[in-house]
């Protein structure tokens, strides 16, 4: 049984299934992450209370480990599939294109590997700055971290604001193709609902990327 699963997830179909499944799990996390970060609009006390409740939850460490494994599996399988596709197609699409053929490729689809690698670097920097960065305690408390102060400190610097805005817009570009592609990899590919999935995928990409980009700009302009 184990070997059967191993062969399936090592196959082309199984690889696409894993990429699609892990991609949708990461998208679900981004929805929750954006919702949590948006609490900053309600002020310092509300944001710090949310952050403390999250950090002090005993399930946060297992959840973070699980999220890291999903993230690494998504990256690993995507890179493996990209190299396999390159090896199987030594001639570029551009050279193989024929007259009258309508390509379904887009900027988002052709830059998935590049945007994904930039996003991976961005995630490392983001975690370094906010999880392991400057640590302040809320005044009068010996346990509650003032994460609000850390966020304000970072986003008062225009270079970091520009960096975050560019990277979060790349997240939107990645999701623009990734959401619909993930559903297709899981078998949801039918003329009846494919167009709707693509449309909702674009809407989701705009909400996530735009929402994450607005936060650093709002902090910079209001503090």
pTM recorded for the entire structure: 0.87
Q: Is the pLDDT of residue 94 over 60?
A: no
Question: For residue 86, what pLDDT is reported?
Answer: 83
Alpha-carbon torsion (205, 120, 144, 161), positive or negative: negative
Residue 100 lies in a domain: no
Q: What is the tally of structural domains in the chain?
A: 1
- 54-86 tens-digit pLDDT: 999 999 999 999 999 999 999 999 999 888 888
Residue 97 lies in a domain: no
Residue 123 lies in a domain: yes
* Residue 97 binned pLDDT confidence (cut-offs 50, 70, 90): very low
Domain range enclosing 68 = 13-87+108-222
Residue 169 lies in a domain: yes
Residue 206 lies in a domain: yes
89 vs 66, residue with greater confidence = 66
- 170-212 tens-digit pLDDT: 999 999 999 999 998 888 877 777 888 899 999 999 999 999 9
Q: Which residues of 97-116 are buried (b: 16+ CB within 10 A; e: fewer)?
A: eeeeeeeeeeebeebbeebb
Q: Which residues, 6 or more positions from 18, have their beta carbon under 8 angstroms from its beta carbon?
A: 9, 73, 74, 77
- 3-50 tens-digit pLDDT: 666 676 678 888 899 999 999 999 999 999 999 999 999 999 999 999
Residue 95 lies in a domain: no
CA–chain centroid gap for 40, Å, is: 20
* CATH number, domain containing residue 206: 1.20.1300.10
């Amino acid at each position: 049984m184990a070997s059967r699963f191993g062969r399936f997830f090592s196959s082309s179909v199984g690889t696409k299934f894993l990429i699609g499944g892990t991609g949708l799990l990461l998208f679900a996390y981004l929805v929750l992450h954006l919702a949590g970060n948006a609490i900053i609009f309600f002020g310092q006390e509300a944001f710090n209370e949310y952050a403390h409740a999250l950090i002090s939850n005993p399930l946060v460490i297992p959840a973070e480990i699980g999220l890291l494994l999903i993230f690494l599996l998504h990256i690993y399988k995507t890179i493996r599939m990209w190299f396999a596709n390159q090896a199987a197609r030594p001639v570029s699409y551009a050279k193989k294109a024929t007259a009258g053929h309508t390509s379904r490729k887009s900027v988002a689809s052709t830059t998935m590997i590049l945007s994904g690698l930039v996003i991976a670097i961005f995630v490392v920097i983001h975690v370094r700055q906010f999880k392991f960065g400057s640590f302040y305690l809320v005044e009068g408390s010996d346990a509650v971290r003032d994460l609000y102060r850390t966020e304000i400190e970072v986003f008062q610097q225009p270079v970091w604001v520009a960096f975050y805005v560019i990277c979060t817009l790349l997240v939107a570009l990645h999701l623009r193709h990734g959401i619909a592609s993930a559903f297709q990899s899981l078998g949801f590919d039918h003329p009846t609902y494919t167009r709707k999935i693509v449309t909702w995928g674009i809407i989701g990409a705009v909400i996530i990327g735009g929402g994450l980009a607005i936060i650093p700009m709002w902090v910079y302009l209001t503090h």
